[in-house]
C-alpha cells in the first residue's frame, strides 16, 4: 500500500485552513479559504458560509493526494453553538458565535451550576443553550445541540449527535468523570446534549457521496475534533507534562501540559483534558496589541536587532491596552502601568495642582496622602495607591527627564505650589510618557515587562498546583523575535524556543493521524 496522509481542517475566527500531513508530520499540502459572505434577512448566514468553506477546502486538496487520505478531523472555535433538528441535522436557529454573550441565561445557569463553574459566563455554550431554550416555544422535542466542529464533522460522517470532551467543556461536560454532571443531567434541556468521545476518536467512514464526489477512498475515516486553541497547542507537539506553549499574539496566552487539573475562576484558569493529562491555560490582556500601539512590525524587527537581551532593562511596565487584567493578576481595575510615578504631596491645593500637572503630561500620580479630597481624586482618576516607601526600601528607578520637568514646572510656579512640600524623591515614570529617548530602550523595557508577566503566569500555575514548567515553546507573531526569546529565557530561567508548527489545522491533522493509528490497531 502507498503512503497514507491525514487531513486536518481548522475553522478559526478569521477563516478556514487545511493541512495534509504524513505519519512523520511532514506537510504535503496546505491552504486557506476566507469565509464566503452569504447574507439572508440582513444577517450573515454562517451555516451556509461554513458549509461552503468546508467543501472548498476539500476541493483544494490536490486530486492526486485525495485517495491517500486515511482520516479527517476538524477543529472549530470554542463555544460556537448550533441548535439543529435531531432528525435532519439542519439548524433550527442561527448559530451562536464563540464571542456572543447571552446574559439573559446567566441567572438560570448560575442557579443550577456550581459556583465559578466554566459555564457561568455569558458566552458559555450552556448559556447559549439555555437562552435558546427560554425563547423557543416549538421544536424543543426534536432539537439537538452541536458545536461548530461537531456539525462540520457530521456533514462528513453523517452520524448525528457526537461531540468531543474539549468542545463540550463549556456546555458543562465533566471530562474527569467522563459524563454530564447530575446538576446538568437533571435539567429539561439536557436532552439536547450530544454524546461525547475523546478528540481524535474515529466516528465513522466518510459518507459515500462525498467520497465518490471528491475521490477519497472507501476506508477514509472521520475523527472527533477539538477547539481551535487546543488544536494550535497540539500543533506545537508539546506532549510531555511540563511542556508549555506561550502564544504571543495580540494577547498573551499560556498553556501547560500538566498531570494535575487546575480550575480557578478568579484568574480565568481552567483545564482541558488531553487523554490522561490536563491542558492548563490562562490568558493575559498584555501582548502584541500593546506593541502595535507604538511600533509597526518593521520597527519591531529593526529595533529588536539592537537590543542586548543579556542585559536586564531597568524599566518596569505593565503594558495593557485598556484597564483590567484577569491573569496572572485578577484585577478588573488594573491600570496600564508603563512605569510608576510616585509623588508624595501634602495639602489639598497642592494635590489639585499636582493632578493637573500630571494630567497635562498624561501621567497619573500615585499619591500617599490622607486628605479626603485627595482620596476622591484618586478614585475619580483611577489612581493606584502605593505604599509610602520607607528609607530601607529599594528605590524605584528614576526618570531624570520627568523629575527635572516636574521641578521646572514647580519652580516656574505653574502649579502654584511650593516645592518644599512635595516629596518627589522616588519618582519613576508612569504611563507612556515620557518614554526613554531611545526607542530601543523603550521596546526593551516593554518586551522585558511582558516577559515578567509571562514568568508570573507560569509561577501562578505552579502555585495553583500544576506540573512545573520545564520548557516553553512559542507561537504567534512574537515568536519570530529572537531577542525577545533570549530575554524570556533569562527572565523565565527556562529553555524557550519557537514552535515548529503553530497552525491549528496542523493540530487537527495530528488528531486525524491519532484516530487512524488507533483504528488500525
- Residues pairing with 272 in the sheet: 279
Smaller CB separation from ligand ADP, 304 or 428 = 304
Q: How far is the CB of 157 from ligand ADP (least distance, A)?
A: 30
**Least distance (Å) from ligand ADP to the CB of residue 253?**
9
Residue whose CB is less far from ligand ADP, 232 or 509: 232
Smallest gap from Cβ 495 to ligand ADP, in A, equals: 19
Contacts of 459 (CB under 8 A, 6+ apart): 328
State which residue, 40 or 299, has the beta carbon closest to ligand ADP.
299
What is the C-alpha to C-alpha distance for residues 192 and 129, in angstroms, rounded to an integer? 9
- Minimum CB separation of residue 292 from ligand ADP in Å reads 4
Rounded-to-integer distance, Cα 457 and Cα 178, Å: 29
The Cα 136–Cα 142 span in angstroms is 12
Q: For ligand ADP, which is the closer residue by CB, 319 or 328? A: 319
Question: 444: which 3 cell numbers?
Answer: 526593551
Give φ, ψ of 201 to 5 degrees.
-80, 140
Q: Which is nearer to ligand ADP, 71 or 227 (CB)?
A: 227
Give the interface with ligand ADP as residue ranges (CB under 6 A). 249-250, 288-289, 291-292, 297, 300-301, 304, 476-478, 480-481, 484
* Cα–Cα distances in angstroms (integers) from residue 130 to residues 141, 279, 456, in the given order: 15, 27, 37
Closer of 238 and 307 to ligand ADP (Cβ): 307
Beta-carbon count within 10 A of 112 CB: 17
Q: How far is the CB of 161 from ligand ADP (least distance, A)?
A: 33
Task: Determine which helix (DSSP H) or strand (DSSP E) holds 471, and give its type and residue range.
Answer: strand 471-475
Toward ligand ADP, which CB reaches closer, 207 or 452?
452
CA 376 to CA 386: how far, in whole Å? Answer: 16
**Closest C-alpha among 299, 356, 296, 312 to residue 451:** 312
| Smallest separation, CB 477 to ligand ADP (Å) | 2
Q: Report whether 476 contacts 288 (CB < 8 A).
A: yes
CB of 307 to ligand ADP, least distance (A): 10
| The C-alpha cell that represents 232 in the structure block | 494550535
What are φ and ψ of residue 253, in 5° steps?
Answer: -125, 140
Amino acid at each position: 500500500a502507498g503512503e497514507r496522509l491525514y487531513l486536518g481542517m481548522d475553522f478559526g475566527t478569521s477563516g478556514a485552513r487545511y493541512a495534509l500531513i504524513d505519519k512523520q508530520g511532514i506537510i504535503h499540502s496546505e491552504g486557506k479559504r476566507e469565509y464566503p459572505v452569504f447574507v439572508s434577512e440582513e444577517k450573515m448566514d454562517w451555516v451556509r458560509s461554513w458549509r461552503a468553506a468546508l467543501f472548498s477546502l476539500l476541493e483544494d486538496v490536490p486530486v492526486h493526494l485525495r485517495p491517500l487520505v486515511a482520516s479527517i478531523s476538524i477543529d472549530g472555535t470554542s463555544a460556537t453553538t448550533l441548535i439543529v433538528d435531531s432528525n435532519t441535522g439542519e439548524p433550527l436557529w442561527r448559530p451562536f458565535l464563540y464571542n456572543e454573550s447571552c446574559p439573559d441565561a446567566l441567572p438560570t445557569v448560575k442557579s443550577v451550576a456550581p459556583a465559578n463553574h466554566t459555564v457561568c459566563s455569558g458566552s458559555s455554550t450552556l448559556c447559549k443553550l439555555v437562552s435558546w431554550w427560554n425563547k423557543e416555544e416549538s421544536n424543543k422535542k426534536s432539537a439537538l445541540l452541536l458545536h461548530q466542529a461537531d456539525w462540520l464533522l457530521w456533514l462528513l460522517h453523517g452520524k448525528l449527535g457526537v461531540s468531543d470532551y474539549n468542545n463540550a467543556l463549556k456546555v458543562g461536560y465533566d471530562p474527569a468523570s467522563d459524563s454530564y454532571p447530575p446538576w446538568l443531567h437533571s435539567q429539561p434541556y439536557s436532552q439536547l446534549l450530544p454524546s461525547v468521545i475523546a478528540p481524535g476518536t474515529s466516528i465513522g467512514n466518510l459518507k459515500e457521496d462525498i467520497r465518490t464526489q471528491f475521490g477519497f477512498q472507501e476506508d477514509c475515516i472521520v475523527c472527533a475534533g477539538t477547539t481551535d486553541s487546543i488544536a494550535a497547542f497540539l500543533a506545537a507537539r508539546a506532549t510531555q507534562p511540563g511542556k508549555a506553549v506561550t502564544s504571543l499574539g495580540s494577547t498573551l496566552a499560556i498553556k501547560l501540559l500538566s498531570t494535575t487539573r487546575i480550575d480557578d475562576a478568579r484568574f480565568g484558569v481552567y483545564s482541558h483534558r488531553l487523554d490522561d493529562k490536563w491542558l492548563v491555560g490562562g490568558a493575559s490582556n498584555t501582548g502584541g496589541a500593546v506593541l502595535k500601539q507604538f511600533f509597526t512590525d518593521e520597527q519591531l524587527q529593526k529595533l529588536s536587532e539592537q537590543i542586548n537581551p543579556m542585559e536586564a532593562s531597568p524599566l518596569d511596565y505593565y503594558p495593557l491596552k485598556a484597564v483590567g487584567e484577569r491573569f496572572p493578576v485578577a484585577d478588573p481595575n488594573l491600570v496600564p502601568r508603563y512605569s510608576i510615578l510616585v509623588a508624595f504631596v501634602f495639602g489639598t491645593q497642592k494635590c489639585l495642582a499636582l493632578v493637573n500637572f500630571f494630567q497635562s503630561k498624561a501621567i497619573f500620580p500615585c499619591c500617599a496622602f490622607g486628605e479626603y479630597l485627595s482620596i476622591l481624586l484618586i478614585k475619580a482618576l483611577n489612581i493606584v495607591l502605593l505604599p509610602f516607601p520607607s528609607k530601607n526600601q529599594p528605590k524605584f528607578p528614576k526618570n531624570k527627564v520627568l523629575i527635572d520637568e516636574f521641578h521646572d514646572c514647580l519652580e516656574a510656579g505653574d502649579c502654584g505650589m511650593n516645592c518644599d512640600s512635595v516629596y518627589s524623591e522616588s519618582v519613576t515614570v508612569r504611563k507612556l510618557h515620557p518614554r526613554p529617548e531611545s526607542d530601543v530602550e523603550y521596546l526593551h523595557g516593554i518586551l522585558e515587562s511582558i516577559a515578567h508577566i509571562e514568568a508570573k503566569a507560569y509561577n501562578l500555575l505552579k502555585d495553583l498546583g500544576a506540573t512545573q514548567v520545564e520548557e516553553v515553546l512559542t507561537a504567534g507573531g512574537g515568536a519570530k523575535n529572537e531577542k525577545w526569546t533570549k530575554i524570556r529565557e533569562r527572565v523565565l530561567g527556562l529553555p524557550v524556543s519557537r514552535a515548529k508548527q503553530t497552525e491549528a489545522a496542523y493540530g487537527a491533522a495530528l488528531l486525524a493521524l491519532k484516530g487512524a493509528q488507533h483504528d488500525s490497531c
